[in-house]
Homo-oligomer: A and B are copies of this chain.
Amino acid sequence: MSVHSRIHSPALADKLMTAEEAAELIPSGATIGMSGFTGAGYPKAVPQALAKRIEAEHARGRPFKVSVWTGASTAPELDGALAKADGIEMRLPYQSDPTCRERINAGQMEYIDIHLSHVAQHVWFGFLGKLDVAVVEVVGIHADGSLIPSTSIGNNKTWLDQADKIIIEVNTRQDARLAGMHDVYYGTQIPPHRKPIPILSAGDRIGEASLRCDPSKVIAVVETDAPDRNSAFAAPDATSEAIAGHIIDFLGHEVKKGRLPASLLPLQSGVGNVANAVMAGLQTSPFEEMTAYTEVLQDGMLNLLRSGKLAFASATALSLSPAGNEAFERDLSFYRDRIVLRPQEISNHPEVIRRLGVIAMNGLIEADIYGNVNSTHIGGTRIMNGIGGSGDFARNAYLSFFMTPSTAKHGTISAIVPMVTHVDHTEHDVQVIVTEQGLADLRGLSPKKRAGQIIANCAHPSFRPALSAYYDAAMHRSPGLHTPHLMSEAFDWIPNWKAAQG
């Protein structure tokens, strides 16, 4: 399919050029707002061309770095290529690229981990400085210059509004029938001029189907023809099925107690295999007419839509496996009536999450016996990915689950520890912790009662005696007994990660 069938603005068609030519227009030191959210809708060509240019400059002994803002994680063609070229000065707000991670943890790259609902507004407020260039993937360009988003929206509205210059990638591999699936809300303001966000249910449309774009800011249009990252999901294993089972039992119990409606409340589900398995588990659950108000729509949710268990899903990005993407494109018109993609300041908006009463389900790296959760750091010092939207959802949810296998590294490391080495979600924000062992309902419990539940229900049996021994010793020797701790021993559980990797 020719790119010209996707570009209905002659003025913008005139700006077609190669990715290499476009990359030449980005100066060293620039701050670039890129599209992309969990491997969907990121620019595929310009970042790679920019990485080559940076490598060439470095080879000539010339410094060249840029700062990169995105929606969330992207792919090897973006984060990977630029990090390998040693081309990123500063990165925000979320990443999951192995090379990026390595450079951040080696102290070679600055990284700022921000709640995803905070990013756009901090840019509008002027808190993060000037945005020079936006590089945004789209499905096509309307005659008036407005843009049809692709498989994610993320912060694209903000990048297009705020950047001095705009580079557009028109990806002909993305399905043109995505047009109409998006809802871009232009009613946001900065204080004191803000009004309520008028979403009353997950399916409400409150905006426009395309992204406004000032054609005079567009400096390049680049054609691409490449798929999204589309990583495969692991098939649900016994561990993730057990976690899903505990959550579904608990939701059923809450319905029976009258604390949840029979169709539940809008679901939010984090990224990854366990989250995907929970969605798969809901396929055979008794709940009907469910809805989702979430960040990312993975295969599990797509299947729930297909089977009719899920009536509607709101997200900011698709994050499908190759097979999931095929199924999606096969039935795109079916899904377009049942999915809306929104800017991430809306998909993750505390106001909307709290109003709708979202049921939040997010992963964790470690939880402590008092219910504090570490979502981001290995051993307290090395960043894994970032907090993403987990804080937006957990704090404002009706009911907030954090879930994890009870052990890592073939059973050698416990996910339940005496004291987490980094806190992303405090004891005030964690309601339910779930492992394959069981579920700890922390609502209305003091720290000491939480410890009892977490050790008994969530910790792996092989670690329970040691956790109980720590707690008992703390009850005897802790200076205070509100949150009993032996601070000099609290971190004795930190694994030797080098050995653990081996």
Contacts and interface: CB of A to CB of B under 8 A. Distances in A.
Copies in the complex: 2
B446 A377 contact: no
A179 interface: no
13 contacts: A90-B446, A107-B475, A110-B448, A110-B449, A127-B444, A192-B261, A351-B351, A381-B474, A383-B480, A423-B423, A425-B426, A426-B426, A490-B491
A191 interface: yes
A105 interface: yes
A387 B487 contact: no
A111 interface: yes
Q: Which of the listed residues A190, A195, A429, A480 has the most CB atoms from chain B within 10 Å of its own CB?
A: A480
A444 B482 contact: no
A93 to B, nearest CB: 10
A236 interface: no
Interface string A109-121: 0111111001000
A60 interface: no
A96 to B, nearest CB: 14
Contacts of A387: 428
A497 B423 CA distance: 24
Contact of A481 (B90, B128, B381): B381
Contact of A194 (B357, B381, B426, B429): B357
Interface stretch (A7-15, A168-176, A196-204): A196-204
A104 to B, nearest CB: 5
A483 B357 contact: no
Nearest to A450: B112
Nearest to A353: B350
Contacts of A201: 192
A307 interface: no
Contact of A479 (B90, B113, B485, B497): B497
